[in-house]
Structure 1
Amino acid sequence: MVTKLSSKVTSVGAESGLMRAENMLVLFHEDVPNELKEFAIVHDNKEIKKDVQAGDRFIINDETFEILFVGGKANETLKEMGHATFQFNGESNSDLPGTICLEAKEIPEIEESHSIQIIGE
């Protein structure tokens, strides 16, 4: 397994719980505009070592989720802005090109200093 992304949460937006209640996380790198930070999980690394693909694993602290679908623009926005919308809906497709769909499991509480990783082949 290759670690494709390894990052730390640097801030959790005050409104990110609204997204979590909808089974979504919005991830952005620290250089995100302030108006987007309220809804985002902000992290410190946008260096993707290898493109993310279906079958990879998304890990928040010790909680692992299988990636089922990667939108056509998701790798590009991860590299440019450290951004993707993660939907924990069990779907294998999305109309939104920056979306990454994962298995439908409860999203854990996320706090500053928690780790985020994407691993795969």
Structure 2
Amino acid sequence: MSVIYQTTITRIGQNAKEALGEQMLITLREGAPADIEEFCFIHCHGELTGALQPGARCELGQHCYPVTAVGSVAEQNLRELGHITLRFDGLREAEFPGTVHVAGPGPA
């Protein structure tokens, strides 16, 4: 399986870790408004080179998560804004249009 997106987290917003307690990780590219940044994991935005779809893998550090569902605008949000909401719940149908669901426990 080829890599379709690669990035590095450069900053963690003051309130971003709170979402992890709810099994969510929210990303946004560098340069976002400060009031939004505080809730996100900020990263240097890379280029999305393929389709974001169920069956793909999401690697975070040493952990690999199978993608189980992709919301209807998640790929566009990632491509244009570097924004994605990962849900660590393994749902097979996206709960919200911008959400990507993966199987496995969220990062601690």
TM-score by length of 1: 0.84
Corresponding residue of 1:90: 90
Offset of residue 33 of structure 1: 1.3
C-alpha distance after superposition, 1:25-52 (max 9, x if no partner): 0011112111111110111024101121
**Counterpart residue type for residue 93 of structure 2:** N
Look up the SS of the partner of 1:3 in the other structure.
Answer: coil
TM-score by length of 2: 0.94
Corresponding residue of 1:100: 100
Q: Quick one: higher RCO (CA 8 Å, sep 6+), 1 or 2?
A: 1
Corresponding residue of 1:73: 73
- Count of matched residue positions in the alignment of Structure 1 and Structure 2: 108
The answer to whether the Cα contact below 8 Å between 1:12 and 1:42 also exists between their aligned partners in 2 is yes
Corresponding residue of 1:34: 34
CA RMSD of aligned residues (A): 1.1
1:4 aligns with 2:8: no
**Counterpart residue type for residue 21 of structure 1:** G
> Which stretches of structure 1, 4 residues or more, deviate above 4 A after TM superposition?
none
Separation in structure 1 between the aligned mates of residue 95 and residue 102 of structure 2, nearest angstrom: 15
Separation in structure 2 between the aligned mates of residue 41 and residue 52 of structure 1, nearest angstrom: 19
Look up the SS of the partner of 2:53 in the other structure.
Answer: coil
The answer to whether the Cα contact below 8 Å between 1:87 and 1:101 also exists between their aligned partners in 2 is yes
Higher normalized strand content (fraction of residues): 1
Gapped regions of structure 2 (runs ≥ 5) = none
Separation in structure 2 between the aligned mates of residue 64 and residue 8 of structure 1, nearest angstrom: 16
Gapped regions of structure 1 (runs ≥ 5) = 110-121
